[in-house]
């Protein structure tokens, strides 16, 4: 039997389908998904989970319509402007991984404010993946390593898996123990490819706006029943 996961990562999928099935605007699905994310964050904090990573906006999501992307950015800015109390009351440390340079200056400013505001929180580490793509993260890491090798601050012969991980966005975050994906899709979608080498995967048909505490508990229960072998017999 396995103990409870220290780090849970979630691909929050299904907002658009949830809205379409109800004859609602796609923006309504994203809004409902945001409310569910708040609930799951609160539950994770209460459950003493140490790390929770939510895949909020991928680097590929820019390919969606300008209207949908604009609504997503407005929703993101709204949540970043109205949830400092949630973070502080639940002792949550807020962090972002991804290339935030493409996000608006106001969103970047809010991210920095939240990270500073919560830097001393000792409860749940909440990691939001924004404009994140794992392939880009790995390429960026390779660039950083090359620059250090050229500068002489890193020796090529010293490079191993542990050293490489120090150049990732998640350099001081443990790898996920459990990855949950909602909506019935069974793929990783360019999310934490390096970090999930030995992560337990859990797929549910529930669309993200329908996901709740009981679904989270069920995923954790499934995790507890697994035997993690890390390549051993």
Residue 65 lies in a domain: yes
Q: Establish whether 13 is a catalytic residue.
A: yes
Which residue, among 42, 63, 64, has the nearest Cα to 52 in the 3D structure?
42
pTM: 0.95
Q: What percent of the chain has pLDDT over 90?
A: 95
Residue 172 lies in a domain: no
Question: For position 47, which CATH number holds?
Answer: 3.40.1180.10
- Provide the pLDDT for residue 229: 82
Residue 152 has pLDDT above 60, yes or no: yes
Residue 6 DSSP symbol: S
Residue 220 lies in a domain: yes
Count the domains in the chain: 1
Q: Establish whether 83 is a catalytic residue.
A: no
Strand partners, 126: 52, 94
Residue 63 lies in a domain: yes
**Cα torsion 18, 23, 26, 28: sign:** negative
Strands, E assignment, the chain = 7-11, 51-58, 93-97, 125-132, 178-181, 200-203
Residue 154 lies in a domain: no
Residue 1 has pLDDT above 60, yes or no: no
Residue 150 lies in a domain: no
**Cα torsion 130, 42, 220, 21: sign:** negative
Asked if 74 contacts 80 with a C-beta cutoff of 8 angstroms, the reply is no
Residue 11 has pLDDT above 80, yes or no: yes
Catalytic residue (one of 4, 61, 99, 212): 61
- Give the separation between CA 133 and CA 19, rounded to whole angstroms: 25
Domain that holds residue 118: 7-132+178-224
């Amino acid at each position: 039997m396995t103990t409870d996961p220290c780090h849970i990562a979630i691909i929050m999928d299904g907002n658009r389908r949830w809205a379409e099935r109800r004859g609602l605007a796609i923006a309504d699905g994203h809004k409902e998904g945001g409310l569910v994310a708040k609930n799951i964050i609160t539950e994770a904090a209460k459950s003493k989970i140490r790390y929770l990573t939510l895949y909020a906006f991928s680097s590929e999501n820019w390919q969606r319509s300008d209207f949908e992307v604009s609504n997503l950015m407005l929703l993101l800015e709204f949540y970043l402007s109205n949830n400092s109390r949630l973070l502080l009351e639940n002792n949550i440390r807020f962090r972002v991984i991804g290339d935030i340079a493409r996000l608006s200056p106001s969103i970047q400013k809010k991210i920095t404010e939240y990270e500073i505001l919560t830097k001393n929180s000792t409860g749940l580490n909440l990691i939001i993946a924004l404009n994140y793509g794992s392939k880009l993260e790995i390429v960026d890491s390779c660039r950083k390593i090359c620059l250090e090798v050229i500068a002489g601050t890193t020796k090529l012969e010293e490079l191993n898996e542990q050293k490489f991980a120090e150049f990732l966005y998640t350099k001081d975050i443990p790898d996920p123990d459990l990855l949950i994906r909602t909506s019935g899709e069974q793929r990783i979608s360019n999310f934490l490819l390096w970090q999930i080498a030995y992560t337990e995967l859990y797929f549910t048909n529930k669309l993200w706006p329908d996901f709740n505490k009981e679904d989270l508990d069920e995923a954790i229960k499934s995790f507890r029943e697994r035997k993690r072998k890390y390549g051993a017999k």
